[in-house]
Chain A
Amino acid sequence: MTSLSQPAVTPPSTSALPDPNGPELDPGASHGHGHGAHADHTMTGFVIFLASESLIFLALFVGYAVYKSSAPLWLPAGVEGLEVREPLINTVVLVSSSLVIWLAERALHRQRLGEFRAWWLLTMAMGTYFVVGQAIEWQHLSFGLASGVFGASFYLLTGFHGLHVVTGLALMAFLLVRSLRPGLVLPEGKGVLAVSLFWHFVDVIWVVLFVLTYVWQRR
Chain B
Amino acid sequence: MTSTGRSQANRGPSLLLVAAGLGLDALASWTMAQQSYRWLPVQASTAAPYVDNLFALETGIGTFILVGCSAVIAWTLLFNRAPKYDLDDGDPIEGNLTLEIIWTVIPLLVVLAIAWHTIGINRTLATLGGKQRLATAAPLTSASLLATGSLPMAAGSLPIATDSEDVGPIQVIARQWSWEFIYPNGVRSSELHLPVDRQIYFRLISMDVLHGFYIPAFRLKQDLIPGSVIDYRLTPSRQGRYRLRDSMFSGGYFATNQTDVVVETGAEFEAWLAAAERAPLRPSFNAANEIWQQRLAEGNRGWATVPPAPPPEVNVSLDPQNSHEA
Residues on A facing B (Cβ under 8 Å): 70-73, 148
Residues on B facing A (Cβ under 8 Å): 133-137
**Total A-B Cβ pairs within 8 A:** 9
Majority secondary structure, A binding face:
loop
Question: B26 CB to closest chain A CB, in angstroms?
Answer: 46
Question: B216 CB to closest chain A CB, in angstroms?
Answer: 33
Question: B132 CB to closest chain A CB, in angstroms?
Answer: 9
Chain A residues whose C-beta falls within 8 Å of the C-beta of B134 in the assembled complex: 72
Question: A41 CB to closest chain B CB, in angstroms?
Answer: 33
Chain B residues whose C-beta falls within 8 Å of the C-beta of A71 in the assembled complex: 133
A-B contact pairs, 9 of them (CB 8 A): A70-B133, A71-B133, A72-B133, A72-B134, A72-B135, A72-B136, A73-B135, A73-B137, A148-B137
Cα A148 to Cα B136 with chains together (Å)? 11
Cα A71 to Cα B134 with chains together (Å)? 9
Q: Besides the contacts A72-B134, A73-B135, what 7 more A-B pairs have beta carbons closer than 8 Å?
A: A70-B133, A71-B133, A72-B133, A72-B135, A72-B136, A73-B137, A148-B137
Chain A residues whose C-beta falls within 8 Å of the C-beta of B133 in the assembled complex: 70-72
Chain A residues whose C-beta falls within 8 Å of the C-beta of B137 in the assembled complex: 73, 148
Chain A residues whose C-beta falls within 8 Å of the C-beta of B135 in the assembled complex: 72-73
Instruction: List the A residue with the shortest CB-CB distance to B135.
Output: A72
Cα A100 to Cα B297 with chains together (Å)? 71
Question: A202 CB to closest chain B CB, in angstroms?
Answer: 35
Cα A70 to Cα B133 with chains together (Å)? 9
Instruction: List the A residue with the shortest CB-CB distance to B227.
Output: A72
Question: A85 CB to closest chain B CB, in angstroms?
Answer: 30
Cα A70 to Cα B137 with chains together (Å)? 15
Instruction: List the B residue with the shortest CB-CB distance to A77.
Output: B137
Instruction: List the A residue with the shortest CB-CB distance to B133.
Output: A72
Question: A150 CB to closest chain B CB, in angstroms?
Answer: 13
Cα A70 to Cα B136 with chains together (Å)? 14
Cα A72 to Cα B229 with chains together (Å)? 13
Cα A72 to Cα B134 with chains together (Å)? 7
Chain B residues whose C-beta falls within 8 Å of the C-beta of A70 in the assembled complex: 133
Instruction: List the B residue with the shortest CB-CB distance to A70.
Output: B133
Cα A71 to Cα B137 with chains together (Å)? 12
Cα A71 to Cα B227 with chains together (Å)? 11
Question: A63 CB to closest chain B CB, in angstroms?
Answer: 16
Chain B residues whose C-beta falls within 8 Å of the C-beta of A73 in the assembled complex: 135, 137
